Amino acid sequence: MKNLMRRAIPGLIAASLLLTACEGGSPGPGSLFGANTVTVSILYGSEKREWLEPLVAEYNAARHTTPDGATIVIEATPMGSIESVRAILEERMKPVVWSPASSVYIPVANAEWRKTRSGDLVVGKPNDLVLSPVVIAMWRAMAEALGWPQKPIGWADIAALATSDKGWAEYGYPEWGRFKFGHTHPDFSNSGIVSILAIAYAGAGKQRGLTQDDLARPELRAFMEQVERSIIHYGSSTGFFGERMFERGPSYLSAAVLYENLIVAQEKKRLAGQSAQLPVVAIYPKEGTFWTNNPYIVLNAPWVTEAQKSAAQAFEKFLLDRPQQLRAIELGFRPADPSIALGAPLDAQHGVDPAQPQTVLEVPAAQVIQATQQLWRQTKKPVDVAALIDVSGSMRGDKISSARASLTQFIDLLGDRDRLQVITFASQVIPLTPLSPLSDKRAELTRRVSGIIEGGNTTLYDAVIAAHQSMKENGDPNHIRAIVVLSDGMDTASRATLDDAIAAISDAGEEGGAAIKLFTIAFGDDADKEVLKQMAEATGGKQYDSTPDNINKIYAEIATFF
């Protein structure tokens, strides 16, 4: 049930975005183009957003038509590759085209589809749009400390470093602290899936033929648990993870599993003076890696019409045409069209080596991929989270009731091993429960949350400082530690100032990306968004704007970090 919820709710976020795009109100693309249109909806992995978004706009502006004279309208929505296929399988979303980051998950998608329907969701071998290898992105200085580029580095080396108590001290750099590693959430993102497959291969000492028996071995389980301990947090998309790494620098994250194109894009920015960050390089793991091939899949689903199919194929042809493929190289992708030469910026100056990778890891069968996901859910880094709820007088009415309901759903998204504390604040800061495993108190907690009532002033800064202090004392530094703050108004009654609060929660120091994260939700129009943003960003967390209507979706998105 929990896993189902975990998958279902974030999908709703994007589903509602897609619906908003299609429905009335402001004129959508459909109404602009008049009645005789054929709309092709596309769900695609976010790593190719920079390439695809302008091409969609360009294609729509040119008003291409089908042989029947209908104008083709492309509506493309970026979404984690695994998250999107879950939504398709559950028919919460019904796009014409699915373009995940890679083909790795297609066998799983087909196996799931066949459980309740005949035929495959993905038929044959779809065309690749653009290519990019999965790499370990690491700060150049750190890669050099490991012997890069002379010494080949592999998944097993990264795992050893991630699980070492000494961390960077082992390589003569104690000042860098522990090795801080990151990959995305395997229930949402393609790079999350391939990361856990690579970790499983490293644990099994194999490069192909991973089996369910391998995954059942206690040593492999222990290995995965250890590697996952070094993860700072998860995340719903690879593009986002890259941005986070390149914004916050080496103290936040030592290395992350990303795609080669994201490194090229970052290095281009840095070389152009648009990023003050240190150089970053791609490590091509010596045991082998996976490719992202961005397949363009016209779904074999009952909701796809013949007209949509042929319009989708017309857009595919446009994407594979030479000018669009050349543009992909500029953004750091390798072209799918073999008649286009590999050249700058795919070079050492931009942190990558087009002669790599030398080998790949074998993509396992569907049931082995699913078993790896299952093992990960059991071994993932646990979470210590405090939910801090503003219950001041201004929360009266809709606000307090939707806050209660969404918090209950948030509790459902967490696993039994996760620990949760609920704290309310108004004139006073009141912990409703201590930080303890959910398994012992899920029902009790739900009951307490439903009894939350509003009244009093807002002591936001005091509450944040208190919650942070409590998490520092009671949280386990080996867990992902986070505070989720929901507030609907200005601080009116704290003794502390904003500066005091920021000083208390900043992630400066050795912990870096493993420090306690603050996620803030500005609830309604009166919330002090700027203050919440400053506090969230000081910790490496994120600020969200929300209303009583979509608050549950915001909580769900925050849960992808865990």
Partner 1 sequence: MNRQRALVFGSIVGLAILIVVGVGAVRTLQLASGPPIELSILYSTEKEGWLNEIAPQFEAARPQIDGRPIRLKLKKMGSREMYLAVLDGAEKPDLISPASSLQASILEDMSAGKFGRPIVRANDPNLCRPTLSTPLVLVAWQERADVLWGGQAPDDLWKRLHNAVSDPRGWETLGRPEWGYVKFGHTDPLRSNSGLQTILLMTYDYFGKTGGLTSADILSNPGYQKWFLEIEQSISQFGDSTGNYMKDIVAYGPSMYDLVAVYESVAIEQAANAAGRYGELRVYYPPVTLMSDHPFCALSADWVTPEKARAARIFVDFLLSRPAQELALNKHGYRPVDPSIPLDRADGPFTRYAANGLRIDLPRQVETPPGSVLNTLLDFWSRNAQK
Of 271 and 320, the one with the shorter C-beta distance to partner 1 is 320
Of 67 and 124, the one with the shorter C-beta distance to partner 1 is 124
State the DSSP string of 309-362. HHHHHHHHHHHHSHHHHHHHHHTTPEES-TTSPP-TTSSGGGT--TT----BPP
Q: How far is the CB of 501 from partner 1 (least distance, A)?
A: 50
Of 113 and 333, the one with the shorter C-beta distance to partner 1 is 333
Q: How far is the CB of 373 from partner 1 (least distance, A)?
A: 20
Separation between Cα atoms, residue 331 and residue 345, nearest integer Å: 8
166-175 contact pairs (CB < 8 A, 24+) = 168/142, 168/254, 171/145, 171/146, 172/145, 173/142, 173/145
Of 164 and 212, the one with the shorter C-beta distance to partner 1 is 212
SS3 at position 247: helix
C-alpha to C-alpha distances, 178 to 109, 126, 409, 480, 541, nearest whole angstrom = 38, 42, 34, 15, 20
Of 316 and 557, the one with the shorter C-beta distance to partner 1 is 316
Q: How far is the CB of 176 from partner 1 (least distance, A)?
A: 28
Q: How far is the CB of 108 from partner 1 (least distance, A)?
A: 14
Q: How far is the CB of 438 from partner 1 (least distance, A)?
A: 40
Separation between Cα atoms, residue 542 and residue 519, nearest integer Å: 5
Q: Which of 68, 74, 32, 31 is nearest to 53 (CA)?
A: 74
Of 152 and 437, the one with the shorter C-beta distance to partner 1 is 152
Of 129 and 483, the one with the shorter C-beta distance to partner 1 is 129
Q: Which of 445, 524, 541 is nearest to 490 (CA)?
A: 524
Of 243 and 337, the one with the shorter C-beta distance to partner 1 is 337
Of 286 and 441, the one with the shorter C-beta distance to partner 1 is 286
Of 26 and 339, the one with the shorter C-beta distance to partner 1 is 339
Q: How crowded is residue 549: how many other Cβ atoms within 10 Å of its Cβ?
A: 10
532: phi then psi, degrees, rounded to nearest 5: -65, -40
Q: Give the residue ranges of DSSP H helices in 146-189.
A: 155-163
Of 276 and 355, the one with the shorter C-beta distance to partner 1 is 355
Q: Which residues contact 235 (CB under 8 A, 6 or more apart)?
A: 182, 184, 185, 189, 241, 244, 560, 561
Q: How far is the CB of 281 from partner 1 (least distance, A)?
A: 18
Separation between Cα atoms, residue 226 and residue 178, nearest integer Å: 14
AA letter at 323: P
Q: How far is the CB of 95 from partner 1 (least distance, A)?
A: 23
Q: How far is the CB of 354 from partner 1 (least distance, A)?
A: 8
Q: How far is the CB of 365 from partner 1 (least distance, A)?
A: 8
Q: How far is the CB of 186 from partner 1 (least distance, A)?
A: 21
SS3 at position 277: coil
Q: How far is the CB of 125 from partner 1 (least distance, A)?
A: 4
Contact between 238 and 262 under an 8 Å Cβ cutoff? The reply is yes
Q: How far is the CB of 338 from partner 1 (least distance, A)?
A: 4
SS3 at position 257: strand
State the DSSP string of 485-546. EEE-S---S-SS-HHHHHHHH--TTTTGGGSPEEEEEEESTTS-HHHHHHHHHHHT--EEEE
Separation between Cα atoms, residue 53 and residue 398, nearest integer Å: 37
Phi-psi region of 172 (alpha: psi -120 to 50; beta: other; left: phi over 0): left
- Largest Cα separation within the chain, whole Å, is 70
Torsion of CA 409, 411, 414, 419, to 10 degrees: 170
Which residues make up the interface to partner 1 (CB under 8 A)?
A: 124-125, 128, 131, 133, 152, 207-209, 286-289, 291, 334-339, 341-342, 355-363, 365
Contact between 349 and 267 under an 8 Å Cβ cutoff? The reply is yes
Of 113 and 291, the one with the shorter C-beta distance to partner 1 is 291
